[in-house]
């Protein structure tokens, strides 16, 4: 729900409650005021009647609507009283509430009982008018709220929505920082300032981290080279016992893995830094055939049945190294994870590449599959960066990479575009 809507709904709710409450309050206040003035008029009239009775006989009293009744009485039986009474009006054929004043007065030595009345029909009309006016106000309020909201959203919230759009489009690896312009509203100015600084700081951190990985990998190359050459020299010393040979072999292996890990990390940073700008047209079939001949030894050793159906014309526009890494990773993964005597099927179509291999276990978790250092199975030699690199290369060139599992077979599909 939008903030403006959220506020409006509350605003309208409170307004309606207030208006509903004010209708009876208004009614009673106005009724009270009216009654007061009516009673005052009646009392005023009473004085006038008392004065008239001194000079005129009651029979000659003429009044509008014949609403003054004067009768002679013998005793002063009651005091003056004012009250409401329903009285039938034959002309309208209905009962109408009247305000009635009764009193006894003496004139020319005679006692008279006087009663006169005034119709209260206006009060009902008054109530209706109040409701009508209040409803009118309510409707005007709603309409103006709607317009105010629209206006607010269009003008007042505009810088906020701009900030929001810019922020959701922000990529820490692409932009230095957001450059949001100041505006009239203080809160939005503060927000923009914070966002500008936050993005700037984030980008700075991102760059530092990237540089660190790159520098660390480069700096590691030399000590790795020293270790490698010294192991090679150690191999030449004699005599070497079988025990020493085993230690040297373990050292070689660890060094090899470290080397591989470092190379892969370097490759990852290079892809991140977009250091592969040279694109060329690459025939995928040729790359695959070259890779297949490289893996011939290892797939023979595992007695893997390999079937390939390769379109001759499929070509992509990419960096050659990256294309080889992408396909090489998928191929070597397939070979690595295929069981002894298993099967690998490769299919290259015009815009897609599919590689299927016999699985030794269950399906891989597609959520974690392309994440860094996710190792599948117990193969300690796997460094767990291959698929992340493949994914990165796909992202770079806009290819789709997908994993599926069916009939105890892992299947990776690449879609070029």
Partner 1 sequence: MKILIIEDETSLSNSIASYLKADNYLCEIAGNYKMALDKIESFDYDCILLDITLPDGNGLNVLKELKKSKRTDGVIIISAKNSVNDKIDGLNLGADDYISKPFHLSELSARISAVIRRRRFDGSANIIVNEITIDTIANTIFINNKLLDLTKKEYDLLLYLVINKNRVISKSAIAEHISGDNADYFDNFDFIYAHIKNLKKKMTSAGAADYIKSIYGMGYKFEVN
- Binding test (CB under 8 A) with partner 1, winner from 18, 246, 254, 351: 246
Among residues 75, 222, 378, 417, which is the contact residue for partner 1, using CB under 8 A? 222
Contacts of 106 (CB under 8 A, 6+ apart): 76, 112
Only segment of 83-91, 97-105, 157-165, 226-234 that touches partner 1 (CB under 8 A) = 226-234
The correct pick among 372, 381, 395, 406 for binding partner 1 (CB under 8 A) is: 381
Q: Which is nearer to partner 1, 80 or 275 (CB)?
A: 275
Cα separation, 95 vs 89, in Å, equals: 6
Q: Of 408, 392, 390, 304, nearest to 353 (Cα)? A: 390
Q: How far apart are CA 41 and CA 287, in angstroms?
A: 110
Selected binder of partner 1 within 40, 78, 122, 249 (CB under 8 A):
249
**Can residue 213 be called a binding residue for partner 1 (CB under 8 A)?**
no
Q: Looking at 1-9, 202-210, 242-250, 364-372, which segment touches partner 1 (CB under 8 A)?
A: 242-250
Residue 311 vs residues 24, 151, 256, 346: alpha-carbon distances, Å: 86, 60, 36, 11
> Is the Cβ of residue 84 or residue 379 nearer to partner 1 in the bound state?
379
CB of 228 to partner 1, least distance (A): 4
CA distance 135 to 22: 11
DSSP helix/strand/coil, 375: coil
Would you count residue 245 as binding partner 1 (CB under 8 A)?
A: yes
Q: Give the residue, chosen from 80, 135, 229, 273, that forms a contact with partner 1 under the rule CB under 8 A.
A: 229
In the block, tokens 């509203």 appear at: 185
**Is residue 329 at the binding interface for partner 1, with CB under 8 A as the rule?**
yes
Question: Which H or E run includes 141?
Answer: helix 121-151
Spatial neighbors of 215 by CB under 8 A, at least 6 apart, are none
Among 29, 140, 143, 226, indicate the residue that binds partner 1 (CB under 8 A).
Answer: 226
Residue 235 sits in the site that holds partner 1 (CB under 8 A): yes
Contact call for residues 113 and 73 (beta carbons, < 8 A): yes
Rounded CA-CA distance 204/196 in Å is 12
Does residue 260 interact with partner 1 by CB under 8 A? yes
Residue 77, C-beta contacts closer than 8 angstroms, at least 6 positions apart? 104
240, 289, 309, 351: which one binds partner 1 (CB under 8 A): 240
- Determine if 332 is a binding residue for partner 1 (CB under 8 A): yes
- Which residue, 221, 200, 202, 199, is CA-closest to 210? 202
Alpha-carbon distance of 248 to 8, in angstroms, equals 77
Least distance to partner 1, CB of residue 273, Å: 11
Q: Of the two residues 45 and 255, which places its CB atom closer to partner 1 in the complex?
A: 255
User: How many residues are given for the chain?
Assistant: 417
Closer residue to partner 1 in complex, CB, 159/328: 328
CB < 8 Å & 24+ apart, contacts of 390-397:
390/325, 390/326, 390/329, 390/330, 392/268, 392/271, 392/272, 393/271, 393/322, 393/325, 393/326, 394/326, 396/271, 396/274, 396/276, 396/322, 397/316, 397/318, 397/322
Q: Is 399 exposed, middle or buried (0-12, 13-18, 19+ CB in 10 A)?
A: buried
Which residues, in sequence order, are CB contacts of 66 under 8 Å at separation 6+?
none
With CB under 8 A as the contact rule, the residue among 45, 104, 252, 402 that binds partner 1 is 252
Residue 232 interacts with partner 1 (CB under 8 A)?
A: yes
Near partner 1 by CB under 8 A: residue from 263, 279, 376, 391: 263
Residue 340 contacts partner 1 per CB under 8 A:
no
Query: Which positions from 264 to 303 touch partner 1 by CB under 8 A, shown as an x/- string?
Result: --x--------x--x------------x--xx-xx-xx--
* 179 contributes a contact to partner 1 by CB under 8 A: no
Closest CB 166 distance from partner 1, rounded Å: 35
Applying CB under 8 A, the span of 22-30, 32-40, 180-188, 326-334 interacting with partner 1 comes to: 326-334
Q: Three-state DSSP class for 378?
A: coil
Residue 239 interacts with partner 1 (CB under 8 A): yes or no: no
Nearest to 414 by CA among 290, 292, 318: 318
Give the nearest distance from C-beta 248 to partner 1 in angstroms: 6
Among 221, 273, 360, 404, binds partner 1 (CB under 8 A): 221
- CB nearer to partner 1: give 199 or 217: 217
Residues that bind partner 1 (CB under 8 A): 218, 221-222, 224-233, 235-236, 240, 242, 245-246, 248-249, 252-253, 255-256, 259-260, 263, 266, 275, 278, 291, 294-295, 297-298, 300-301, 321, 328-329, 332, 336, 379, 381-382
């Amino acid at each position: 729900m939008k903030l403006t809507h959220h506020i409006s709904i509350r605003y309208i709710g409170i307004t309606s409650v207030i208006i509903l409450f004010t209708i009876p309050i208004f009614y009673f206040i106005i009724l009270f005021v009216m009654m007061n003035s009516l009673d005052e008029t009646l009392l005023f009239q009473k004085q006038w009647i008392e004065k008239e009775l001194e000079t005129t006989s009651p029979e000659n009293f003429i009044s509008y609507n014949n609403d003054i009744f004067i009768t002679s009485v013998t005793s002063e039986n009651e005091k003056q009283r004012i009250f409401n009474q329903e009285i039938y009006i034959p002309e309208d054929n209905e009962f109408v509430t009247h305000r009635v004043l009764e009193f006894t007065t003496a004139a020319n030595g005679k006692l008279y009982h006087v009663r006169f009345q005034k119709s209260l029909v206006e009060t009902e009309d008054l109530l209706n008018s109040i409701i009508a006016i209040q409803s009118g106000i309510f409707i005007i309020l709603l309409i103006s709220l709607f317009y105010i909201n629209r206006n607010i959203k269009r003008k007042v919230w505009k810088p906020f929505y701009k900030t929001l759009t810019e922020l959701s489009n922000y990529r820490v690896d692409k932009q230095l920082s957001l450059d949001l312009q100041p505006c009239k509203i203080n809160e939005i100015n503060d927000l923009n300032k914070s966002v500008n600084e936050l993005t700037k700081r984030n980008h700075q951190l991102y760059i530092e981290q990237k540089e660190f990985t790159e520098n660390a990998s480069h700096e590691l190359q030399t000590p790795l080279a020293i270790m490698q050459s010294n192991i090679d020299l150690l191999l030449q010393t004699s005599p070497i016992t079988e025990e020493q040979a085993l230690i040297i072999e373990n050292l070689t292996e660890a060094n090899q893995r470290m080397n591989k890990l470092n190379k892969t990390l370097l490759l990852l940073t290079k892809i991140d830094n977009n250091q592969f700008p040279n694109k060329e047209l690459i025939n995928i079939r040729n790359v695959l055939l070259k890779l297949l001949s490289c893996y011939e030894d290892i797939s023979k050793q595992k007695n893997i049945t390999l079937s390939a159906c390769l379109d001759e014309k499929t070509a992509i526009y990419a960096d050659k190294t990256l294309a080889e890494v992408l396909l090489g990773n998928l191929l070597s993964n397939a070979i690595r994870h295929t069981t002894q005597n298993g099967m690998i099927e490769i299919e290259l179509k015009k815009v897609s590449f599919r590689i299927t291999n016999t699985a030794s276990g269950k399906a891989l978790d597609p959520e974690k599959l392309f994440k860094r250092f996710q190792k599948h199975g117990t193969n300690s030699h796997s460094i767990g960066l291959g698929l992340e690199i493949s994914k990165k290369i796909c992202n770079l060139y806009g290819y789709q990479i997908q994993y599926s599992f069916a009939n105890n077979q892992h299947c990776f599909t690449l879609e070029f575009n």
